[in-house]
Structure 1
Amino acid sequence: MGRSQTAPCLQCRYRKVRCDRQQDTCGNCKRLELSCSYRRSVSCKETKKQKNESVPPERQRASRACSECRRQKARCSGDLPSCKTCRHRQRACRYTDSNLPADSSQVLKSASALFPIRRQELLGAIDQFFRHLYPIPSFAFLHEPSVRQHCLDGILDQSLALSLAAVTNAYLSTDQRLLQECASWMLRAEAENIQHLHQPSIRRVQTLLLTVHYYIRIGEFARAYMLVGLAARAATALRLNYERPELTFVAQETRRRVIWALTSIDGYFSVGLPEHETISYAIIYQRWPCHEEEFSDGNPQRSTGSIQNLTKANSAKTPNLLSACHQIGKIQRDVMRLTRQLAISEEPLAALPGLVQEIQNDLWRLHDDVELTSQFSISAMARQLEMKHSQWFARYLLTALSWHQVHCDLYRIFLPGYPEAVPSRIMNTTDANFCEHAVRMCHIHVMQVTEILAGVLSLSDTPVLPHYVAVCAYQSARLILFLPSLHSSRPEITTESAIRSANLALSVLHTFFSSTPFAERIITDLEHLVQASVMSPTTARELGYVSSAQSGSGRQRHSQLAVHSLVRQAKFEDDDYEN
């Protein structure tokens, strides 16, 4: 005879919970999908068998609670990858080895249950990334609308999400606990990339670039150097250096931005030395990046057409400074290579002034193109500082600084006694008027760099500046401290004014880069140089802070790494020899 409806069903009785005694199936059994003893389909024989069995029904809930529910003493559903309580309260749900739900180990692995970032935290990191880091050209390789939508849909690549959050916090957060978590996130993303090294993809290349940025930020330069090589190999394997016209506009532009960002990061290491170069400009057959509005909207409005049409379309728009930054970067690489090649040149070069003029023409051609297409002048210093409240201020600043700094790099090789100067056999055969012109150009452009840096000091609310700002501050200070020692120098270049300008550059470094491992050696070296110059320019020369490179041979000077070179700071050692 069947059990009376006044008694609880067997499932509720075993589980010691209140039974609502509904016909056919009680509410608890229906909710938990258990086999309720009230079901009319169960035969009397089966019912009698169930009554006599002492084995409890299959356990449906977790045998253990997650860490958060245990701490709050709350009921835990034991769901994977996160329990209902944690999902409702938007908390990170974690199961330790001792409190994993029963039979959950395989499910946990397959579901990647321990993804450590809540969606709201990830969205916050995405906001911070695109507001503060994305304007820097070497970070501008992600499509913001796609990243946001993928995050909202829950389909954002986990390694990309982890690396994006980690690098954003590394640059913008001072929370030590969070920074420690970021280190574990980055190791997880890096391990996933290494595991799938033979299966490159755009997302994995982007993750690698973010990983490289992270390790540069925390001072692990050797690790960053090795990983940028992997990123370059993956990029060429995917043929990102070639156009793919059959793809959508956003896909094409993403490929372009990845390869150009890679060249920017590569420049941190190669500094004009082919042996440290991971991606060569000579093998890139991609267009320059398009205007930011086009990429964001996915609408190529200005990618084609005559210069007249471009002028009309862009006259009221912001300039394409991302393209300008990458183009200046390419010219700068050419200047660095020229400087290194001249260091080992055995014969005078009659065509050298002509080569310099070609590079000068490239710089002015770029200047005129930007001004023509956007009514913006790279050389107008006041315009750069007027843009300090713009989202793209980093690009305005970088374009102006690098344009002037490349002029300094180009003409300083004709300053007798300067570390990067051409050998004396070339200097002696160079026209004296041209050398005097080089001194004037160095003075004009180094003063422009100094004035821009003075304006930068007023930007105390700017959380992140590009690394190249530190390089410009250092190199401009070196140059301006050297100029008073030249007999042909202009009267207004005095030792006192040069020291003031160098101290200004030092203030920029202390204000914006004092906590950056990348700039530690730069700051220390410049402090020594300023102190030596205060004593006397002659003392500075004797101590070697100004002309240390001149003491070496041409071969040594060709391969010499600047104090801000990340390869030099990586401190690779070749000492593992067998006795």
Structure 2
Amino acid sequence: MAPVFLHKPSILLEWSKGDLDINLLKCIVAFGMFMKDSRPDGRVTARAMMQEVQDDTLRKIGRQTLAHLRVLVMLLRFRFQAGQFPDAWSLLALAARSAFTMRLNYEHSNPDPLVQESNRRLVWAIYQLDRLYSGGMEDLAVIPVERMHIRLPCDERSFEMGMGSKAGFLDETSMDPSANVDAHSFKLRLLAIRDRILRYTKSVRRKGDSPAGSRSAMEALQAELNTFERTLPAELKLTSQRLVFMGHSREAGPYVGLHTLWMMCHCDLYRFCVPGIRESVSKDALALTPPNFIEYCQHACFSTAIRLCGLWSDLYHLESSEYFGDELLAVSIYQVAQILHHLPHLIPEDGEDSVLSLKKRLIEALQLAVPLGRVYTSAMNCLKDSERLIDALGRASVTQSSPDSSVSAAIETAEREHLASKHSVLPHLYRDQNIVDRGTGHPEAKGQRSNMLPPNNGRITSSNTNATLPVSQSDHERREYQEMEPGFSDMFLFDPFNMQLNGYYDPELDFSFM
């Protein structure tokens, strides 16, 4: 999660005096209900309360005040965690424009360090979600990395105590040893590197050239990742001892999220030579690529995926009571499972990296990530897909029938521009609009699936069915195709909201034996 921008003592003081903005108060209450109230009615109430706030806020859309921006960012974060991505997407642009209009992306002299830091964190919260949503697509970014001229967020203790920040800036390659920062600041810096990696790999994929022709750019990005890891302070480095210490601390989530993201950046950088996944270059481009280059990229991607499996397994066996990871943990498990599924020739038949061993570690990773379903509504769908892929490791698969020609044409157009995603946003938008038009309300009100129960005997089950996952993906895809309206071939299909995808979907992957 992003570092908090609301200062708890200050908020409580405003509330006790009756000065707290009513919409901000509603946001805080709704967030608490959504995160802590396990009853379906509680989440329905939270959504309804947030909808009231959103309606009132958008009626005052012309306001450019800090109070208005704080409410916008709370709404944005709620929509993201509730899986209401279309709303979050639109709110993100509004929040970014408002923050830049008030020039909050620049340092301002303010005698109160608490106000300074709160404003910085407000902008960084927008920046973090923009990096996740845009996915390296420059056309979709609303917060340019090069326009962030404020200090990175300081550590939580300094913020709580109202201390002045000594944090560095985003474009600095090293950090002052005296800087009062924690894992959040380093993650924001790493997200900027990841953004450059995704821009590079998607550019290679879009051009259709051999990736070997841009090897120097690939090596420069790898050097950035190496420098980042080398300059981490000792307390944030990944060692067996630090893993135990951090794994039982309040910093467990940010610490694990940082190192998971760093390793996933390696997978993102080299995956364009993994055939069968969305970000792979075309067969023609691979045919023009020297075999030793393909082998190098595949081994780099595979070895990092193995390291991630080991990290998650070690965390699972810590038996800590802390939450591990962040919004990217479930996504990363899915992506690692995809990589391993598409590189079966690199998996040894026996030993600690055999199929059986990898399955065991990945199942442990699934168990580790299940609690995140309470925080991120879409996480359980991602984990369902991951479970299917884990079950399929080491098995043969067959391809499913192709969608109709109009959909295929639209997907091909999207691949050239934005790299189409697994779940197109447009059918979701049509479905959401139809629900509103019919006045049926939110899925929770109808008893539809919104929460997932913890694993049952190693399986993840739905809270409103007795069926054990996974569900047939081919049936799901067929329903998505049927929901598309006529004339769709004129539109491009992409989904920057669905974090499961991130370019790893294989549209022909099907498991008839499951």
Structure 2 counterparts to residues 111-126 of structure 1, below 5 A = none
Please, which of 89, 92, 95 is the counterpart of residue 231 of structure 1?
Answer: 95
Structure 2 contact 334–382 (Cα < 8 Å) conserved: yes
| 2:245 is the alignment partner of 1:386 | yes
Distance in 2 (CA, whole Å) between partners of 1:267 and 1:570 is 22
Residues 336 and 253 (structure 1 numbering): CA distance in 2 closer, same or farther, change over 3 Å? same
Distance in 2 (CA, whole Å) between partners of 1:223 and 1:521 is 19
1:63: which partner in 2? none
Please, which of 71, 86, 89 is the counterpart of residue 222 of structure 1?
Answer: 86
Residues 530 and 350 (structure 1 numbering): CA distance in 2 closer, same or farther, change over 3 Å? closer
2:331: which partner in 1? 471
The aligned amino acid for 1:146 is S
Q: Give the structure, 1 or 2, with the largest relative contact order (CA under 8 Å, sep 6 or more).
A: 2
| 2:345 is the alignment partner of 1:485 | yes
Please, which of 104, 107, 119 is the counterpart of residue 240 of structure 1?
Answer: 104
1:438: which partner in 2? 297
Offset, 1:394: 1.4
Distance in 2 (CA, whole Å) between partners of 1:468 and 1:307 is 24
Distance in 2 (CA, whole Å) between partners of 1:272 and 1:220 is 21
Structure 2 contact 30–49 (Cα < 8 Å) conserved: yes
2:385: which partner in 1? 525
Distance in 1 (CA, whole Å) between partners of 2:337 and 2:218 is 23
1:158: which partner in 2? 22
Distance in 2 (CA, whole Å) between partners of 1:226 and 1:304 is 30
Offset, 1:381: 5.3
Offset, 1:232: 1.8
Distance in 2 (CA, whole Å) between partners of 1:416 and 1:491 is 25
2:437: which partner in 1? none
Superposed CA offset, 1:4-52 (max 9, x none): xxxxxxxxxxxxxxxxxxxxxxxxxxxxxxxxxxxxxxxxxxxxxxxxx
The aligned amino acid for 1:257 is R
Offset, 1:166: 1.0
Residues 389 and 474 (structure 1 numbering): CA distance in 2 closer, same or farther, change over 3 Å? same
Structure 2 counterparts to residues 233-312 of structure 1, below 5 A = 233-246=97-110, 248-300=112-164, 302-303=166-167, 310-311=176-177
Q: Secondary structure at the match of 1:466?
A: coil
Structure 1 contact 506–523 (Cα < 8 Å) conserved: yes
1:329: which partner in 2? 191
The aligned amino acid for 1:325 is K
2:70: which partner in 1? 206
2:279: which partner in 1? 420
Structure 2 contact 347–354 (Cα < 8 Å) conserved: no
Offset, 1:181: 3.7
Structure 2 counterparts to residues 352-367 of structure 1, below 5 A = 352-367=214-229
Q: Secondary structure at the match of 2:16?
A: helix
Residues 486 and 198 (structure 1 numbering): CA distance in 2 closer, same or farther, change over 3 Å? same
Q: Secondary structure at the match of 1:370?
A: coil
Superposed CA offset, 1:468-515 (max 9, x none): 111111111111222223599999654434433443344344454289
The aligned amino acid for 1:224 is A
CA RMSD of aligned residues (A): 3.7
Distance in 1 (CA, whole Å) between partners of 2:79 and 2:73 is 10
Offset, 1:406: 0.8
Offset, 1:154: 2.9
Distance in 2 (CA, whole Å) between partners of 1:552 and 1:191 is 34
**Bigger Rg, which one:** 1
Offset, 1:265: 1.6
TM (normalized to structure 2)? 0.72
| 2:198 is the alignment partner of 1:339 | no
Residues 218 and 294 (structure 1 numbering): CA distance in 2 closer, same or farther, change over 3 Å? closer
Structure 1 contact 212–227 (Cα < 8 Å) conserved: yes
Residues 454 and 500 (structure 1 numbering): CA distance in 2 closer, same or farther, change over 3 Å? same
| 2:363 is the alignment partner of 1:503 | yes
The aligned amino acid for 1:479 is I
Offset, 1:417: 4.3
Gaps of 5+ in 2: 403-407, 432-483, 488-514
2:54: which partner in 1? 190
Structure 2 contact 151–167 (Cα < 8 Å) conserved: no
Superposed CA offset, 1:54-98 (max 9, x none): xxxxxxxxxxxxxxxxxxxxxxxxxxxxxxxxxxxxxxxxxxxxx
Structure 1 contact 141–254 (Cα < 8 Å) conserved: yes
Distance in 2 (CA, whole Å) between partners of 1:503 and 1:245 is 51
Structure 1 contact 228–266 (Cα < 8 Å) conserved: yes
2:452: which partner in 1? none
Q: Which moved more, 1:465-474 or 1:435-444?
A: 435-444
Residues 570 and 221 (structure 1 numbering): CA distance in 2 closer, same or farther, change over 3 Å? farther
1:397: which partner in 2? 256
Superposed CA offset, 1:302-356 (max 9, x none): 3479999943x46xx8x52111111111111222222221112144466522111
Distance in 2 (CA, whole Å) between partners of 1:540 and 1:376 is 47
Distance in 2 (CA, whole Å) between partners of 1:490 and 1:361 is 33
Distance in 2 (CA, whole Å) between partners of 1:402 and 1:254 is 25
1:11: which partner in 2? none
Structure 2 contact 151–168 (Cα < 8 Å) conserved: no
Distance in 1 (CA, whole Å) between partners of 2:326 and 2:152 is 20
Offset, 1:570: 4.3
Q: Secondary structure at the match of 1:288?
A: coil
Offset, 1:177: 4.7
Residues 496 and 438 (structure 1 numbering): CA distance in 2 closer, same or farther, change over 3 Å? same
Structure 1 contact 405–472 (Cα < 8 Å) conserved: yes
Structure 2 counterparts to residues 20-39 of structure 1, below 5 A = none
2:419: which partner in 1? 560
Structure 2 contact 35–374 (Cα < 8 Å) conserved: no
Structure 1 contact 242–285 (Cα < 8 Å) conserved: yes
Offset, 1:211: 1.3
Distance in 1 (CA, whole Å) between partners of 2:348 and 2:312 is 26
The aligned amino acid for 1:185 is M
Structure 1 contact 341–558 (Cα < 8 Å) conserved: no
Superposed CA offset, 1:261-302 (max 9, x none): 112222343222334333222332223223333333333363
Residues 558 and 352 (structure 1 numbering): CA distance in 2 closer, same or farther, change over 3 Å? same
Residues 247 and 338 (structure 1 numbering): CA distance in 2 closer, same or farther, change over 3 Å? farther
Superposed CA offset, 1:520-571 (max 9, x none): 43233233333444532xx166799xxxx9x9758526523444x7957844
Q: Secondary structure at the match of 1:467?
A: coil
Distance in 2 (CA, whole Å) between partners of 1:164 and 1:566 is 32
Distance in 2 (CA, whole Å) between partners of 1:490 and 1:341 is 38
Q: Secondary structure at the match of 2:5?
A: coil
Distance in 2 (CA, whole Å) between partners of 1:540 and 1:526 is 18
TM (normalized to structure 1)? 0.64
Residues 380 and 432 (structure 1 numbering): CA distance in 2 closer, same or farther, change over 3 Å? farther
The aligned amino acid for 1:403 is W
Residues 490 and 202 (structure 1 numbering): CA distance in 2 closer, same or farther, change over 3 Å? farther
% identical equivalent positions = 21
Structure 2 contact 236–255 (Cα < 8 Å) conserved: no
Structure 2 contact 249–322 (Cα < 8 Å) conserved: no
